[in-house]
Amino acid sequence: MQDIRPSFDDYDEINSPRAEQTDIDRVIETAISRRGFLGGAMSFGLGSFLVGSTALNRRAAAQTQGARFDFAAVEATTADTVTLPEGYEWKMLVKWGDPLHPDAPEFDPETRGTVESQARAFGDNNDGMALFTRDGRHVFAINNEYTNLDILWGEMAEGEAPTDEQIRKSMMAHGLSVFEIVEGADGWEVKRDSDLNRRVTTDTEMDIAGPAAGHDLLRTSADPEGMMSLGTWNNCGNGRTPWGTYLACEENFNGYYSSSEERAEDAEDTRSEAFRRYGINYSDWGYGWARVDPRFDISAEPNEPNRNGYVVELDPFDPEARPVKRTALGRFKHENAELVINDDGRVVVYMGDDERGEFLYRYVSEGTWAEGQDGGDLLDKGQLYVAVFDPEMTGKWVALTPDATGMSAPEIAIHTRIAASRVGATTMDRPEWVAANPSKPELYVALTNNKNRGVKPNEGGDNQDVNGPNPREVNNYGQILRWTPDNGDHTADGFEWRLFALAGNPVLAEALEGVTDAEMAEPADPGLAVENVYPGSENVTAGNMFNSPDCLAFDTRGMLWILTDGNYSDEGPFEGMGNNQMLAGDTETGEIRRFMVGPRECELTGMQLSPDGKTMFVGVQHPGEDGNSNFPDGGLPRSGVVMITRTDGGVMG
């Protein structure tokens, strides 16, 4: 797409007439003021609960307020290891390539495994995860989002093409890993001989359910009925249901498709509006999957991409269970799926679409759920909504109905982004994870960053002028937004919102006070311009600076854990922030404290607690993605799940 970024001089005229700027300044001030933390005009209803919150609340009540922040903040660092406060220690639970069956081979760092070994081992680049307990057994379901091809394939000579075997191996490294864990004298470990261990990959058969099932747009030569598909990939964040299933969210599914009909350099782009909006392109992102499986060739199978971009439900306790794609939850670059049960029993799912200028969604089921029931079909019949924010700290959920969008129900489920644009949804700064406070009806979403805010529209042409919850042009750092549904009712049309934190670099901002771009060398990247270095909100300090909040997760005490996937250069606007990190946020006072720093070039993602609360599991994804890490054991960098415990054996969270 042509870069239509105006010059900085143009900004005033296009985006920031003085009155509007003043309004946004006022919004920021109100949004992050202390009043915001103390409740202000926000209404907190009672009675709604998050999945599993009954047990959580019991434990929360047993713990004292004084236990919050029971650690000394760690400093930012670029060390190639896991850094924790004194009194805490870590070790690995599982790493990319570790076998999940007793007769599967150990990982070979020389070959980096084979198609067969990878299909029976923990996948690459773990992201969202959930730990389930049933009948005394503990099972992890974990997303393996994507692969670092340089690492998976090893160094390849310039111009060298991957072999078919290498391509198939990357397919087997994607998907989901499901495995049982047991606690021994030395802590938790993978139970390799469990009958529950399985991988879900690009080859796993799954069903398609909900309004899009069977629609013409889902029919392919392999599946003329449009009712099933093979596999899931690029599963980013996740969700879990109170009926004991796992929700894997398909995010950047588009990057795996390519076209055998190449586009000449000067030829017109003849892709459909939908392909353009979803980033389905003539070439893939280097994976080469179409070479070994023609369904990834969009000129041969133009409907195949319509079968990805969904939330996939899986029963982790049934290794034979077919996963189900729940199309009623919409098709977009799903980050996670935060599910709550409303007071009246209806299932409500909050979801972000992680791309610059895309939207925040909510699903409300038609039927209701009660303890002990199965619920999968509650995710098939319901209403999808998209969020519209106003600068007065309120917002509303707009239903994506045929009347409102001029599209049929199956079309809304398949081309959700286009439907949402038609009702005037508010463009957001890349919505990542949504987390629901377990003790009250209150939601948080990480808006990770957006270099295009105030620069150019989203891929659908929707404007990305600064707006209430996305108040900064060329947003390098990101923010955390929170909202409360009217009357504590998750199905209400309206809500009130505030910002919990605006990330930033207060140290650099202060140092640059009064310095202008003209006095600096003209930066090639607008993100490096002086005017785009922001100090952040008051709760962002020299001691806790971070950028690009991504994963959000509450612990049993109501502490909000913030995990970052941002710029780890430790330079320029990010100077002093070090590697990606995990921080704890007190949602009552607004205080944020750094707890963990990950190894080099990783992101931290996914946080789960053991049932006794004494082990915290955290995902370390893509360490050394640019070749500068040997995490965790001094050799080939490998993603994995870290277990953190207190040296005194106490409860983690």
Binding site for Ca ion (CB under 5 A): 432, 550, 565
**Amino acid of residue 529:** A
Min dist. Cβ of residue 606 to ligand FEO (A): 11
Min dist. Cβ of residue 473 to ligand FEO (A): 21
- 223 is in the binding site of which of ligand FEO, Ca ion, none (Cβ under 5 to 8 A by kind)? none
- Report the distance separating Cα 371 and Cα 460, nearest Å: 41
Min dist. Cβ of residue 239 to ligand FEO (A): 14
- Report the distance separating Cα 385 and Cα 390, nearest Å: 16
Bond preceding residue 632 cis, omega within 30 of 0 = yes
Closest CB to ligand FEO among residues 226, 624:
624
- 586 is in the binding site of which of ligand FEO, Ca ion, none (Cβ under 5 to 8 A by kind)? none
- 251 is in the binding site of which of Ca ion, ligand FEO, none (Cβ under 5 to 8 A by kind)? ligand FEO
* Locus of tokens 């959000």: 552
Instruction: Please return the burial class of 344, using the count of CB atoms within 10 Å of its CB with bins 0-12, 13-18 and 19+.
Output: exposed
Closest CB to Ca ion among residues 282, 574:
574
Closest CB to ligand FEO among residues 249, 398:
249
Q: Going by DSSP bridges, is the β-strand pair 549-554/334-341 parallel, antiparallel, or unpaired?
A: unpaired
- Report the distance separating Cα 196 and Cα 541, nearest Å: 46
- 98 is in the binding site of which of Ca ion, ligand FEO, none (Cβ under 5 to 8 A by kind)? none
* Locus of tokens 């890349």: 430
Closest CB to Ca ion among residues 256, 369:
256
Closest CB to ligand FEO among residues 145, 293:
145
Min dist. Cβ of residue 607 to Ca ion (A): 12
Give the up-direction half-sphere exposure of residue 542: CA atoms within 13 A in the CB hemisphere. Answer: 5
Beta-carbon contacts of residue 58 (< 8 Å; ≥ 6 apart): none
- Three-state DSSP state, 615: coil
Closest CB to Ca ion among residues 432, 489:
432
- 80 is in the binding site of which of ligand FEO, Ca ion, none (Cβ under 5 to 8 A by kind)? none
Closest CB to Ca ion among residues 151, 466:
151
- 380 is in the binding site of which of Ca ion, ligand FEO, none (Cβ under 5 to 8 A by kind)? none
From 608, 547, 76, 597, select the one nearest 316 (Cα to Cα).
608
Tokens of 103: 């007769």
C-alpha 250: how far from its chain's center?
10
**Amino acid of residue 463:** N
Min dist. Cβ of residue 165 to ligand FEO (A): 27
Closest CB to Ca ion among residues 409, 620:
620
- Three-state DSSP state, 371: coil
Q: b/e for 10-35, b at 16 or more Cβ within 10 A? A: ebeeebbeeeeeebbeebbebbbbee
Min dist. Cβ of residue 351 to Ca ion (A): 13
- 180 is in the binding site of which of Ca ion, ligand FEO, none (Cβ under 5 to 8 A by kind)? none
Q: Confirm if 260 and 236 have CB atoms less than 8 A apart.
A: no
Min dist. Cβ of residue 552 to Ca ion (A): 10
Min dist. Cβ of residue 504 to ligand FEO (A): 21
Min dist. Cβ of residue 622 to ligand FEO (A): 10
Closest CB to ligand FEO among residues 128, 460:
128
Site of interaction with ligand FEO (CB under 6 A): 127, 145, 236, 251, 335, 354, 432, 550
Three-state SS sequence of 528-556:
HCHHHCCCCCCCCCCCCCCCCEEEEEECC
